[in-house]
């Protein structure tokens, strides 16, 4: 996706201008609440799948360290990882240690194990890899054995080792199971796939999250390489400036953010310039209902 995004950005960053309008936050970033507590977070985060799976002592660590540091300096806080993202947890833990930024990060990980004993071992490994005694959110990854893992996460929450618990999926085939879990259990956060060309989550999952007071993190808001491939070589439509959009990545993120149930997408981000561009989607106006329909029709027509 990095190469595809680079090609798309080259043709789109000059199209449209930011109006300068921002929220009341000093950094200009829109923030939204986690319903369980009312705590607010900036509406664009960082995902670490694939891109942070590098040797912790390799030259590949330097751009990732700079990316995370820039993200925080611009007001970002939410960083999402998982034990099955290769070495991502270890790499992120080293970055946080070297930069001293742990207390400025809303740190999210997952548990992807069957059985309580295996889940407990994996979670303890995450604490060690991340170099912290507190993880803000741990979610049941891809709905793997929530019957065993949710009670364990509740215990961790009671002992203040984690602050929030939840569940994740990235596949529409799991929506039925996710919906049932959201109705049966008290979840603080879910993570789900949602994009301008993959809107199924808006039919039932996102409305249910709003009704149940569950925060929503969004994975793959760019559809991995799919959306960048779709618009490669195309100019951003002039009307995108009406909601302060100046690039295709912002177009895709602002669509996701314009759904009232969405709290924070976590696009994979491993370069400083992508941090700066992505956080631009968290500033200024968001599409209204009419603009959302226009965006959907535009993308559907390609």
pLDDT at 18 > cutoff 50: no
Residue of 215 and 21 predicted with greater confidence: 215
Q: pLDDT value at position 8?
A: 52
Mean pLDDT of all residues in 3-30: 50
Q: pLDDT digits over 119-156, tens only?
A: 999 999 999 999 999 999 999 999 999 999 999 999 99
End-to-end CA distance of the chain: 19
Rounded to a whole number, what is the largest CA-CA distance in the chain?
Answer: 55
CATH code for position 88: 3.20.20.100
Q: How confident is the model at residue 5 (pLDDT cuts 50, 70, 90)?
A: low
**262 CB burial (10 A radius; 0-12, 13-18, 19+):** buried
Q: pLDDT value at position 16?
A: 34
Q: How confident is the model at residue 177 (pLDDT cuts 50, 70, 90)?
A: very high
pLDDT at 12 > cutoff 60: no
CA dihedral 86, 90, 96, 98 (to 10 degrees): -120
Task: Count the domains in the chain.
Answer: 1
Q: pLDDT digits over 106-123, tens only?
A: 999 999 999 999 999 999
Residue range(s) defining the domain that contains residue 14 = 2-300
Q: Write the CA distances from 160 to 27, 36, 43, 108, 127, integer angstroms.
A: 29, 15, 24, 15, 13
């Amino acid at each position: 996706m990095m190469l595809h995004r680079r090609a798309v950005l080259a043709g789109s960053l000059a199209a449209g201008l930011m109006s300068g309008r921002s929220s009341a936050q000093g950094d200009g970033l829109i923030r939204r609440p986690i319903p369980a507590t009312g705590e607010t977070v900036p509406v664009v985060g960082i995902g670490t799948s694939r891109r942070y799976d590098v040797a912790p002592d390799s030259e590949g660590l330097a751009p990732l360290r700079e990316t995370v540091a820039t993200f925080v300096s611009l007001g970002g806080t939410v960083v999402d990882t998982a034990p099955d993202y290769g070495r991502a947890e270890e790499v992120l833990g080293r970055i946080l240690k070297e930069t001293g930024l742990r207390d400025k990060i809303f740190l999210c990980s997952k548990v992807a194990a069957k059985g309580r004993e295996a889940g407990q071992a994996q979670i303890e490994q995450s604490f060690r890899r991340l170099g912290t005694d507190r993880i803000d959110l741990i979610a049941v990854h891809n709905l793997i054995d929530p019957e065993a893992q949710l009670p364990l996460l509740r215990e961790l929450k009671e002992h203040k080792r984690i602050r929030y618990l939840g569940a994740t999926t990235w596949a529409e085939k799991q929506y039925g199971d996710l919906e049932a879990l959201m109705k049966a259990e008290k979840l603080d956060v879910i993570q789900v796939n949602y994009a301008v060309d993959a809107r199924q989550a808006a039919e039932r999952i996102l409305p249910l999250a709003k009704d149940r007071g569950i925060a929503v993190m969004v994975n793959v808001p760019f559809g991995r390489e799919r959306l960048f491939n779709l618009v490669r070589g195309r100019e951003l439509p002039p009307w995108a400036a009406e909601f302060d959009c100046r690039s295709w990545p912002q177009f895709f993120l602002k669509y996701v953010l314009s759904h009232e149930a969405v709290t924070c997408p976590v696009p994979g981000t491993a370069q400083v310039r992508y941090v700066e561009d992505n956080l631009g989607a968290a500033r200024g106006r968001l599409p209204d209902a009419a603009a959302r329909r226009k965006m959907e029709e535009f993308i559907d027509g390609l």
